[in-house]
Every structure is written in C-alpha cells, then in structure tokens.
C-alpha cells in the first residue's frame, strides 16, 4: 500500500551547515512512527522539510502519492499535513477560540463550528477556556491548543515535535493518550519525542537520527531492544540486560 508519507534521500542545509543527509523514511496510512535522536540530530528539520518550512537541497517528499518537495507550506497544510512545532507557537495575545480559528482559516465556513466543537471534545479544558488569552494557559493547555489548532483542517498526517516537552508527568501522559485517540480516528502521526520510552510504546515503528543521518530503523520493539537505543535513548545499561519498557 502507498505510504501516506514517503521521504527519500532528504538532504537539508542551513547556509553551509548540513542538518540532514540522505534521510529516507515512510509513514504508513494510520500509522504512528517516531523519530528519535539527540539534540541537534535533525528531527525538527525533518518535520520542517515535510511541511515546506525549509527547502531540501536534495531528495523527494511524497505525500499521498503527490510530490510536495517544492510545494508552498500553505498548500501542504491544505493537502492534509498538520504540524505542531516544538514550543507550540500559539498566538499568546489571541484567545483560545481565535487560535483555533486561525488554524481553521482554510476550512469552509459551514464546517468551522463543528471543527471547533471537535477540538473542545478532544480537549474539554479548551472549551472551558475558549475566551481566555492563550498566553495565560499552562504549558500543557498550550500544547493541547497547538494540537487542536493543527487538527482544524482535518489533516491525515500529523507531525508532532516534542509534544511532551516541559510537561509534568501527568500532563505528558494525557498528551500521549490524546495522540493515541487522534490516531484511532485514522490520522497518521510522525512523532518527534525526547521521551523515547513513551514514544516507542506508542509508535509501531521508529527511526533514529544522529547528526543528520539515520542510524537505526525498525519496529518499536526491535528499537527498544537495540543496544544503541537502550544506552543512548532509554538510559539503560546494556550490560545489565532486562526488558526495556
């Protein structure tokens, strides 16, 4: 079956600095795939390239069979790719509702109401705070708003960049539960996460980036058992053995 996302041989530079080299990965329809790696490995750059925010030097990005490598970012959103950037990037001076409406600016007017209701159904706290300025929300609520906003155009692929970053464990668990729910509704997810343990528990497959190159790829269970992943990302001592969990 055609993957929802097919990235081939992606190379990205920032000026003279190479951030990605020859990265190839796929996300299947309705699949959750995680992208792991240390700070600066190129995870965010991969997501940015897919959503058209940085232009690759080389390579090809195909979404639902369509080449989007050179497509403008707004066309990629309209095609069905949602992106929740690291740090959320909500509009702090806008209300919760206004932030959702910005996310839904491409949505047909007759459908905006039901999309907003769907966001409030997924995140009831946002419904209760819909008139509140987004900048006054807690970190967890801002993350929920960023996800709700990205879902407004009903993407079929959601790119999530470190959704649990800086969140207390309880909220972080809540965010992971919501990602599962979003995926249950048929949305494929490419998840960048510092919490490799949680990410591998949620994802079917994963890729590991090191300084811009893919070094390991495979089903989550195989990655969780891989000595390189265990020591570097799961904080487990390979000499001690035992199950990764």
Among 1, 16, 17, 237, binds ligand ATP (CB under 6 A): 17
Q: Which of 39, 184, 242, 243 binds ligand ATP (CB under 6 A)?
A: 39
**CA dist list (Å): 170 to 123, 139, 240, 244:** 15, 12, 29, 21
Please, which residue, 23 or 76, has the CB nearer to ligand ATP? 23
Question: Is residue 227 within the footprint of ligand ATP (CB under 6 A)?
Answer: no
40 binds ligand ATP (CB under 6 A): yes
Q: Within 13 Å and on the Cβ side, how many CA atoms surround 164?
A: 21
Per CB under 6 A, the list member of 4, 31, 34, 45 interacting with ligand ATP is 45
Identify which of residues 123 and 207 has a Cβ nearer to ligand ATP in the complex.
207
In 3D, which of 235, 237, 238, 203 has the Cα closest to residue 218?
Answer: 203
Per CB under 6 A, 14 contacts ligand ATP:
yes
Short-list 78, 21, 16, CA closest to 49: 21
Listed ranges 42-50, 99-107, 111-119, 147-155: which one lies at the site for ligand ATP (CB under 6 A)? 42-50
In 3D, which of 207, 228, 224 has the Cα closest to residue 35?
207
Query: For ligand ATP, which residue of 5, 7, 10, 19 counts as binding (CB under 6 A)?
Result: 19
Binding to ligand ATP, residues 74-133 (CB under 6 A):
86
**Minimum Å distance from CB 42 to ligand ATP?**
4
Integer angstrom CA distances of residue 220 from 53, 62, 160, 226, 230 = 28, 24, 17, 10, 12
What burial class does residue 51 get, using C-beta atoms within 10 Å of its C-beta: 0-12 exposed, 13-18 middle, 19+ buried?
Answer: buried
* 3-class secondary-structure state, position 182: helix
| Given 10, 36, 37, 157, the residue binding ligand ATP (CB under 6 A) | 37
Among 34, 44, 51, 143, binds ligand ATP (CB under 6 A): 44
Strands laid side by side in the 205-210 sheet: 81-84, 157-161, 188-192, 32-37, 205-210, 213-219
Q: Which stretch binds ligand ATP (CB under 6 A): 24-32, 41-49, 58-66, 132-140?
A: 41-49
**Which residues of this protein are in contact with ligand ATP, per CB under 6 A?**
14, 17, 19, 37, 39-45, 86
């Amino acid at each position: 079956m055609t993957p929802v996302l097919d990235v081939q041989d992606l190379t990205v530079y920032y000026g003279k600095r190479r951030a990605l080299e020859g990265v190839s990965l796929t996300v299947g329809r309705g699949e959750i795939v995680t992208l792991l790696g240390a700070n600066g490995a190129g995870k965010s750059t991969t997501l940015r390239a897919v959503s058209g925010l940085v232009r690759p030097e080389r390579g090809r990005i195909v979404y639902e069979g369509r080449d989007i490598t050179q497509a403008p970012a707004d066309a990629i959103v309209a095609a069905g790719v949602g992106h929740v950037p690291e740090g959320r990037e909500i509009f702090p001076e806008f209300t919760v509702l206004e932030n959702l409406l910005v996310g839904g600016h491409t949505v047909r007017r007759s459908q905006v109401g039901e999309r907003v209701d769907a966001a409030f159904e997924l995140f009831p706290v946002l419904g209760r705070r819909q008139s509140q300025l987004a900048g006054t929300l807690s970190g967890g609520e801002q993350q929920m708003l960023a996800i709700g906003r990205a879902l407004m155009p009903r993407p079929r692929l959601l790119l999530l960049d470190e959704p649990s970053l800086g969140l207390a464990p309880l909220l972080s668990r809540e965010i992971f539960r919501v990602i599962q729910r979003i995926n249950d509704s048929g949305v494929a997810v490419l998840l960048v996460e510092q919490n490799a343990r949680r990410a591998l528990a949620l994802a079917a497959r994963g890729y590991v980036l090191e300084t811009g190159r893919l070094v390991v790829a495979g089903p989550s269970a195989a990655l969780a058992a891989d000595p390189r992943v265990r020591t570097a990302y799961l904080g487990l001592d390979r000499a001690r053995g035992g199950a990764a969990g």
